[in-house]
Amino acid sequence: MELPVIGPLTSSERIRRHPDNPVLDASRVPYPTALVFNAGVTKFNGKYVMIFRNDYGSLADETIKPHHTTDLGIAFSDDGIRWEAGPRPVFKLHDEEVIRAYDPRLTVIDGRCYMCFAVDTKHGIRGGVAVTDDFASFEILSLSTPDLRNMVLFPERIGGKYVRLERPFTVYSRNGVDRFDTWIAESPDLVHWGNSDLLLAVEHVPFANDKVGPAAPPIKTNKGWLTTFHAVDLDPSRGKNGWEPSWKKRYSAGIMLLDLENPKRIIGMSKEPLLAPEAPYEIVSGFRNNVIFPGGMVLEKDGEVKIYYGAADTVECLATAHVDDLLQLCLEKE
């Protein structure tokens, strides 16, 4: 299959990277870690909470490479900008069958904090949903069949059902290559998931040629559910770009608006990336450069939206925009 080449990409003018970026990195975590990124962030009982992916492998030791040794750490903040990491990781899955859990996404529903996460197992990648009230103990409610990941929950039931976005890995039916799309599913109890539908396909997004999937969990606005997505383009001519021998992908963030009552309906989507890799911490000296992966979105009372994102699979960053500007991006015609 011929890959359409996606040229240079730039970020929207409606969003600003925070001057304190990265807001969290390995140097500010009080235990050994190599990469701190792809965090889920929410507000819970008046505090900002972040659960981040902690890849603690060593670059020097081939047997414990980062991206292979992962647990989840926690950080708290009073203002969403200055973060303090907790003394130890809070979540880890690893046994004979399970390799690791990663890429947490947090959503508060009816006063409880739910966490979606990906699980690499020896028999495929599974999507998990857990719940916690204290960020110390987590009850796992469900694990999907493989291959599925990047699940995010909506912050309330819609038509009586819990709803999530997800990204199955449809390798066989998509000619054996990455061509992964965003799907939407619902559940009566967060355990049984079904009524699945395709929501957003790669070919609908002008800045993707490889995969599009959920990013941060949606936020509610008076015009609809506002949600980011990750959009990946692959260029086989790209070579070494980071610490790995070869990295040919670029991850950007897009934004779209879904109908409040029927989130299977996309009201609008920006045809341009919201955030494309441009800042030094996104494009140089990372594990995988050119990766932006939002995992948390907080709507403040004054209309500011904080978007937290992993940069270069190495650090955690923050960008801000006004909610009206984000809605306009989704609604304006080209």
DSSP 88-142: S--B---SSSEEEEEEEEEEEETTEEEEEEEEEETTEEEEEEEEESSSS--EEEE
Q: In the chain, count of helices (H) and strands (E)? A: 2, 21
Two tokens, residue 9? 């990409």
Count CB atoms within 10 A of the CB of residue 97: 10
Using the rule CB under 6 A, which residue among 114, 117, 183, 293 binds ligand BMA? 293
Nearer Cβ to ligand BMA (138/251): 251
DSSP 269-316: E-SS-SB-S-SHHHHSSSSBSSBEEEEEEEE-TTSEEEEEEEETTTEE
Nearer Cβ to ligand BMA (38/221): 38
Min separation Cβ 119 and ligand BMA, Å:
12
User: Which residue is associated with the tokens 């009201």?
Assistant: 267
Residues numbered 72 to 111 that lie near ligand BMA (CB under 6 A) are 103
Of 66, 92, 76, nearest in space to 23 by CA? 76
Percent helix, strand and coil across the chain, each to the nearest 5: 5, 45, 45
Of 152, 141, 132, 145, nearest in space to 91 by CA? 132
Residue 313, interface with ligand BMA (CB under 6 A)? yes
Q: Could you give the string, one character per residue 237-266, with x where binding to ligand BMA holds by CB under 6 A and - elsewhere?
A: --------------x---------------
Nearer Cβ to ligand BMA (23/291): 291
Residue 288, interface with ligand BMA (CB under 6 A)? yes
Please choose, out of 80-88, 131-139, 169-177, 285-293, the segment that lies near ligand BMA by the rule CB under 6 A: 285-293
Nearer Cβ to ligand BMA (39/163): 39
Nearer Cβ to ligand BMA (48/117): 117
Cα separation, 55 vs 73, whole angstroms: 10
Using the rule CB under 6 A, which residue among 165, 257, 291, 318 binds ligand BMA? 291
Residue 289, interface with ligand BMA (CB under 6 A)? no
Using the rule CB under 6 A, which residue among 12, 21, 33, 38 binds ligand BMA? 38
Q: Which residues pair with 100 in a beta bridge?
A: 120
> Binding residues for ligand BMA, how many (CB under 6 A)?
8
Count CB atoms within 10 A of the CB of residue 173: 8
Please choose, out of 153-161, 172-180, 197-205, 288-296, the segment that lies near ligand BMA by the rule CB under 6 A: 288-296
Nearer Cβ to ligand BMA (187/289): 289
Min separation Cβ 277 and ligand BMA, Å:
11
Residue ranges in contact with ligand BMA by CB under 6 A: 38, 103, 251, 288, 291, 293, 310, 313
